[in-house]
Structure 1
Amino acid sequence: MAQAADVNVKRGKEIAFTCLGCHGITGYKNAYPNYHIPRIAGQSDQYLLNALKDYKAGKRKHATMQAQAASFSDEDLANLAAYLSSIKTK
């Protein structure tokens, strides 16, 4: 996992509760529209950071994800991506 020296995984864990509500539940689907919500634990930190930045910039379209990403600073997005990528999956 390639991280800058100032990335704070502990801070990422503190703010990840908003992500894990949906992305941490195996098989979870939204009621409307009905679609699969991907598990993000263990994904590449760079992939996660790029996705979060794209949601924040409006390049990826999903109202909930855009609102979530917009609520965080760029530093928090990096911390969040670092934490989520550090989670070990089975």
Structure 2
Amino acid sequence: MSSHFLQMSCRLLLAIGALLATHISVADEPDVEAGRARAAVCHACHGPEGVSSNPAWPNLAGQKSPYLVKQLKAFREGTREDPTMTPMAKPLTDKDIEDIAAYYASLADAPECDAAN
């Protein structure tokens, strides 16, 4: 083989590799819009904007994504148990969890309660 052919082949392989790496990297990024859609079932307890109207249920708006991922995976895997959350988290894929966490992390923090009221 000629050295020119080898150089062109190497350049082509490098370009393909770079494109694949970019595609894989983008595909792994959490999708806030997909998280919003997947979190629709969460609104009943955690509110449509991630702010719960019941003090028994936590506000999720503005929570850090890694924290939410950790908690949802713990519910899903049974290392953290709750009669409501465990069955809700069971069918979630890792991608679902990442997307849901990104959605809630993208929301504004819940307003602070005024202690005087």
TM-score (norm. length: structure 1): 0.80
Q: How many residues align?
A: 81
Cα pair 2:35 2:100 within 8 Å, conserved: yes
The answer for unaligned runs of 5 or more in structure 2 is: 1-24, 112-117
- Structure 2 SS opposite 1:50: helix
Please identify which structure carries the higher helix content: 2
One-letter code of the match for 1:16? A
What residue number does 2:21 align with?
Answer: none
Q: CA deviation at 1:26?
A: 3.8
Higher radius of gyration, 1 or 2? 2
What residue number does 1:9 align with?
Answer: 32
One-letter code of the match for 2:99? N
One-letter code of the match for 1:62? D
What residue number does 1:22 align with?
Answer: 45
- Structure 2 SS opposite 1:16: helix
Find out whether 1:75 has 2:95 as its counterpart: yes
TM-score (norm. length: structure 2): 0.63
The structure, 1 or 2, with the larger RCO (C-alpha pairs under 8 Å, 6+ apart) is 1
Kindly, what percent of the aligned residue pairs are identical?
32
The answer for unaligned runs of 5 or more in structure 1 is: 30-35
What residue number does 2:70 align with?
Answer: 50
